[in-house]
Amino acid sequence: MKKFTSVNDLTDIKSAVQEAFEIKKNRFKYVEVGRNKTLLMIFFNSSLRTRLSTQKAALNLGMNVIVLDINQGAWQLETNRGVIMDGDKPEHLLEAIPVMGCYCDIIGVRSFAQFKSKEEDYNEVIINQFIKYSGRPVFSMEAATRHPLQSFADLITIEEYKKTEKPKVVLSWAPHPKSLPQAVPNSFAEWMNVTDYDFVITHPEGYELDPMFVGQAKVEYNQMKAFEGADFIYAKNWAAYRDEHYGKILSTDRSWTVGKEQMSVTNNAYFMHCLPVRRNMIVTDEVIESPQSLVIPEAANREISATVILKKLLEGLE
């Protein structure tokens, strides 16, 4: 594999999930694969899980790891070409990227949607520049429109816990006080759409996602109705995508907070969230602390998804 920015970079999802289960049984099985190889992780945004799980995955494979937080100690980077750099940014991404490529074999990038321009975000300008100018295989640690390492871990988790062949999986919007990217729900939908699960998306009107990601999913505006008979509830907030509302908060309606009442109409569903989660905004204490909550095993599977992907990227090195 030469890059990993979406589900489309995996040729065979089923075998990738099988490989994940194999690695979960013996996570050091491929400790020789990354010997003398260096992973560079670049963060433009904060992280707890991605930072730790990806680093752990690299260690599982015998790699060395370097981590750089652009906003803590690096030069502030100009990202637009043609700008007269007389402001507060001393370095341009166009030099920084190839320099970063000199010190490593594989690069992971976290660069969230900035909500300044929908076009810029949805063209994945930042991570695409890494792909173009670093000379290294690049993988997403959540870019502007997708978070594939998360979605892969989510799929592994559902495959581990499902009780029927084709579970009903519901992605539900939930309220949040800040504007959050669509990357997690976009990506989750994209991965669910390559399974044969019964996949439903529910959100208030105005929160429609890019149809490219919604695909064949059912969209149901009534959350209670969507939850009926569900086997998995996947909660997430996102800001509006559509039109002039792009990046805006249209609702903070706490009747959408996932609580006992909503869970009671499900098929004793498991609760999932990528974390970090705001309790009693997205989900009540009661639901996240219940035995049906998978948030910790889901986070644990981030190490597994990252190990599979890094292994594939290492195997693709010339």
Residues of the shown chain interacting with ligand CP in the complex, contacts defined by CB under 6 A: 47-51, 142, 150, 274-276
DSSP letter assigned to residue 221: S
What does 183 interact with, of ligand AN0, ligand CP, none (CB < 5 to 8 A by kind)?
A: ligand AN0
What does 78 interact with, of ligand AN0, ligand CP, none (CB < 5 to 8 A by kind)?
A: none
DSSP letter assigned to residue 284: -
CA distances from 54 to 19, 71, 217, 219, 303 (A): 17, 20, 30, 33, 6
Indicate the residue whose CB is closest to ligand CP.
50
What does 48 interact with, of ligand AN0, ligand CP, none (CB < 5 to 8 A by kind)?
A: ligand CP
| Measured distance CA(113)–CA(300) in Å, rounded | 25
DSSP letter assigned to residue 279: B
Helix (H, G, I), strand (E, B) or coil at 236: strand
| Site pattern 144..183 for ligand AN0 (x: CB under 6 A) | ------------------------------------xx-x
At which residue do the structure tokens 């399974």 appear? 195
DSSP letter assigned to residue 82: T
Q: Does 276 bind ligand AN0 (CB under 6 A)?
A: yes
Q: Does 42 bind ligand AN0 (CB under 6 A)?
A: no
DSSP letter assigned to residue 282: T
What does 226 interact with, of ligand AN0, ligand CP, none (CB < 5 to 8 A by kind)?
A: none
- Output 10 or 143, the one with its CB closest to ligand CP: 143
- Output 104 or 272, the one with its CB closest to ligand AN0: 272
User: Can you tell me which of 39, 104, 138, 274 binds ligand AN0, judged by CB under 6 A?
Assistant: 274
CA angle 95, 99, 105 (to 5 degrees): 140
Neighbours of 300 (CB within 10 A): 16
| Measured distance CA(288)–CA(282) in Å, rounded | 10
Helix (H, G, I), strand (E, B) or coil at 7: helix
Closest approach, Cβ 8 to ligand CP, in A, equals 20
Identify each DSSP E strand in the chain by its residue range: 3-4, 38-43, 64-69, 77-78, 91-92, 106-110, 138-140, 168-173, 198-202, 218-220, 232-236, 270-272
Q: Does 299 bind ligand AN0 (CB under 6 A)?
A: no
- Output 110 or 168, the one with its CB closest to ligand AN0: 110
What does 180 interact with, of ligand CP, ligand AN0, none (CB < 5 to 8 A by kind)?
A: ligand AN0
What does 306 interact with, of ligand CP, ligand AN0, none (CB < 5 to 8 A by kind)?
A: none
- Output 29 or 248, the one with its CB closest to ligand AN0: 248
Closest approach, Cβ 300 to ligand CP, in A, equals 12
Q: Which residues bind ligand AN0 (CB under 6 A)?
A: 142, 180-181, 183-184, 274, 276
